[in-house]
Structure 1
């Protein structure tokens, strides 16, 4: 009986040691893709041509991320301005020097479930997050 218990514990630990790095690699890759997309949206949105990030830009971003394996309906975008103004309105772009903030969040989607083999419970509702702020270059 003791040998069976040792075997089961060893098998669980062996599976975790073997597969955990693969899941962590996917997690790091998703984080990098989210940050790359956030940087791109901020660069485009804060350019002298736009000064905002509206729903059209967000939908195009969701399409690009869907090509990388993300589920568009699970992506959460938060757009704001450093002054508290509306940063997603094309009719009122942010003036030059005002900060445009963006955060993109995406759920872990069970990537941390393998940690249960060693007794770690994944946090419920936890999400990957990427974002940043860039000063608007729009001149009316």
Structure 2
């Protein structure tokens, strides 16, 4: 009986040692992709041509991230400005010098449940990984 218990405990530890690094790498890659997408969207949205991040840009971003395996409806986008003005309005772009903040969040999707094998509690179901940033708008109104 004692040998069976040792075998079960060893098997659980062995499974965790084999598969935990893989899931951790998936988590790191997801976070890096979210940060890369946030940086890209800020670069485009804060450029002199736009001065905003609107719904169509967010839809294109969802499509790009879904190609990497993200579930598009689970992605959350938060766009704000440093002045409180609407940073998603294409008809009223933010003027040069006003900051655009963007945060893209995605749930862990039970990715770290394997940590339960060694007694670690995984993140709650409402916890999210995210990529975020802020860039100053370069848009200059004509006229």
TM bucket by the smaller chain?
over 0.9
Q: Where does residue 127 of structure 2 map in the other structure?
A: 126
Structure 2 CA distance for aligned equivalents of residues 88 and 120 of structure 1: 40
Cα displacement (A) at 1:123 = 2.1
Work out the CA distance in 2 between the residues paired with 1:44 and 1:83.
20
What does residue 14 of structure 2 align with? 14
Structure 2 partner of 1:90: 90
Distance in 2 of aligned mates of 1:123 and 1:135: 33
Question: Could you tell me how far apart the structure 2 residues matched to 1:126 and 1:13 are?
Answer: 26
The answer for the alignment partner of 1:27 in structure 2 is 27
Count of residues in correspondence between the two structures: 140
Structure 1: 4+ residue segments shifted above 6 A: none
Please, which runs of 5 or more residues in structure 1 have no aligned partner?
Answer: none
Equivalent residues in 2 for 1:1-140 (5 A)? 1-124=1-124, 125-140=126-141
Task: Measure, in 2, the Cα distance between the counterparts of 1:2 and 1:129.
Answer: 45
Q: SS in structure 2 opposite 1:83? A: coil
Ranges in structure 2 where 5+ consecutive residues have no aligned partner:
none
**RMSD, aligned CA:** 0.6
Secondary structure of the residue that 1:88 maps to in structure 2? coil
* TM-score in terms of structure 1 length: 0.98
Q: CA separation in 1, counterparts of 2:123 and 2:110?
A: 10
TM-score under structure 2 length normalisation: 0.96
